[in-house]
Chains A and B, each alone.
Chain A
Amino acid sequence: MEIRAIGCEPLQLKRVHMKDGHTIKVYRDTGGYLSLKKALTMTPADIIEEVKASALRGRGGAGFPTGMKWSFVPKDSPKEKYVVCNADESEPGSFKDRYLMERDPHSMIEGMIIAAYALGSSTGYIYTRGEYKYLIDIMDVALAEAREAGMLGKNIFGSEFSCDIHTHTGAGAYICGEETALLSSLEGYRGHPRMKPPFPAIEGLYASPTIVNNCETFTSIPQIIEMGGIPWRDLGTEKSGGTKLWSISGHVKKPGVYELPMGYADMEKFIMEDCGGMLRDDKKLKAVIPGGSSVYIMNAGQILGKNVTLDYEGLVAAGSMLGTGGMMVMDETVDVMDTTKNLTEFYKHESCGWCTPCREGTDWLVKIFDRIASGGGRPEDAQLMLDICDNIEGKSFCPLGDAAAWPIQSAIKQVPDDFKKWLHAKTDIYASNV
């Protein structure tokens, strides 16, 4: 598996190939914790302004501007405030945070400490999925190192600021990647999402102001403080600042984690050249899911020769979304009906059961897919599935419902031929149904 930067100096991946890059010694020898020292000489408001200027957008999938999220935290609240790192990484196709935590845990910790200072918080939690037990062990060692070096604890760098961070384990639930479900889980409850508003910035963990950000978002913070918001933004585009990690898997010769500047041109070059092209030379590209399973599937015609830029706006213009940057590449041997069935089974399994459209909808969709896969497909099934998706999308309590609907809606639209044969349809299933 490849881990490298293309089209930019490695920033997120600066230390991943260094010997002992996970230790505080190597981290500090290579400039680590200097951003924290600098941040402590700035005012919290200045830090938030730098983060806003950087055009950093949340790397967990939704892409919400990080500086704006931070600015929602009330300055005058008498309650304790919390900083939470979402290291649940459970989006199918995404595996970038794993390598950040394994090989450069201090970057994330430094980012969290700076965030805590900027938001007036003294407690942080790193919520890691339970399956990543070995990473929790690595983070515990890194946190102990940071405490011993005085980066965590009382009067950090001799300032008035004190802060501590703890690890917390999940136990296998995709929904806990959704920030309010994560907070329910962190409080020891079932991972059910909560009503928004109030947003976590106002009432999050223990009904106190809370910021939840992804690992990669936090590892970007020290870079922004070091370089300044505008220079960091200019590595990418005006609306999508900086560099971004992409996880690429499936039928390419060189799957792995790649760091690309936002706005990298283009998606075809990335798949066909940077990632080594198709796994089997004689098989053509059929479809790509560019941003983790919760985005629209793209067919080859939407990518090849279309100059799709790899940033939030570029992928929306091309008919999909950036999501977490978990790109899954499928060659012509793949049956997209089977792919969509697989993802629908995933969403059915991971639906938390809290709201009816998602719980019942995903269950019925899997039943229909099972019938189709056992040979009982009917031409009208395409419309039936689209109707059920319509009853889930935008009508469920949290975005998991949308995420379950989008692969089906886009697969039927973009790769209709794979459904046509299973549904025993004589005419174009999409055109005749929609």
Chain B
Amino acid sequence: MAAATPTSYTDKIVKTDEVAEFSPEIIDEMNMHVAKYPLERKRSALIPLLMLVQRERGWIDNPGVNFLARFLDLEVTDVWETATFYSMFNLRPVGRHHIQICKTLSCRIMGEPDITEHVCSRLGIHPGETTADGKFTVSMVECLGSCGTAPMMQIGFDYHEDLTIDKNDKRRDHQRTL
């Protein structure tokens, strides 16, 4: 299923009435999305706005969800209903650099297992975990549409393709310094 497994989010869905606040610039950006859809169809903007909440807050947290429910005139459960379906929404905090390694067929046969093992052993974590300093999270994801340049990974929103172990080392060393 596209959604995360229950254990990864139910512990984070704590009942709080706290509502996140956003700057006027972000509110403008949100309104720009809402304006794309018919007036009575504001819910259409939910996924783009969840993306913005995640960009601003790092993950989809309860105050962010409460904000969207108010902003779009929805129930809090409506927002969770959508947020828990899509695999790009982080329902718990992730590291500053979210390394998403593609594990689907073309990447797998072109060397993904070696890349995964190398990345994880250098960071000292397993897939799904975050380093103690909060800098890196490694996730295994399904096809990202980069099969001709396999193996590949996405870090944040950036594609890194035609990976070799050497290239990985250089990138990791650079990111350690950030």
Contacts and interface: CB of A to CB of B under 8 A. Distances in A.
Interface of A: 1, 80, 89-95, 97-98, 125, 129-134, 166, 168-175, 185-191, 206, 247-251, 255-257, 289, 293, 326, 328, 330, 334, 338-339, 342-343, 346, 348-353, 359
B114 to A, nearest CB: 14
A187 B145 contact: no
A339 B81 CA distance: 33
B88 A190 contact: no
A330 B109 CA distance: 8
Interface in B136-164: 141-150, 154, 157-159, 162
Nearest to B74: A188
B2 A349 contact: yes
A46 to B, nearest CB: 30
B46 interface: yes
Contact of A172 (B38, B88, B106, B158): B88
A249 B86 contact: no
Given A328-B147, A353-B1, A170 B86 contact: yes
Contacts of B81: 189-190
Contacts of B104: 92, 293, 342-343, 346
B87 interface: yes
A130 B154 CA distance: 12
A191 B47 CA distance: 11
Interface of B: 1-3, 36, 38, 41, 43-48, 50-51, 72, 81-82, 85-89, 103-106, 108-110, 141-150, 154, 157-159, 162
Contacts of A172: 2, 86-89, 141
| 10 shortest interchain CB distances as A-B pairs | A172-B88, A171-B86, A249-B147, A188-B43, A188-B46, A172-B87, A173-B2, A166-B36, A190-B85, A92-B143
A326 B147 contact: yes
Nearest to A186: B44
Given A93-B147, A187-B44, A131 B154 contact: yes
12 contacts: A1-B148, A89-B145, A94-B147, A95-B147, A168-B36, A172-B2, A172-B87, A189-B82, A190-B82, A250-B106, A330-B109, A349-B142
B157 A133 contact: yes
A201 B1 CA distance: 28
Nearest to A331: B109
B173 to A, nearest CB: 24
Given A130-B88, A293-B105, A352-B2, A188 B47 contact: yes
A130 B2 CA distance: 13
Most buried by A among B50, B105, B109, B159: B105
Nearest to B83: A171
A173 B87 contact: yes
Nearest to A256: B148
Nearest to A293: B105
A92 B1 contact: no
B137 to A, nearest CB: 15
A257 B1 contact: no
A92 B148 contact: no
B86 to A, nearest CB: 4
A250 B50 CA distance: 35
A188 B79 CA distance: 9
A17 B158 CA distance: 22
Given A92-B105, A130-B86, A191-B2, 8 more contacts: A93-B147, A168-B36, A172-B89, A190-B81, A250-B105, A255-B147, A328-B109, A350-B2
A255 B148 contact: yes
A351 B85 CA distance: 11
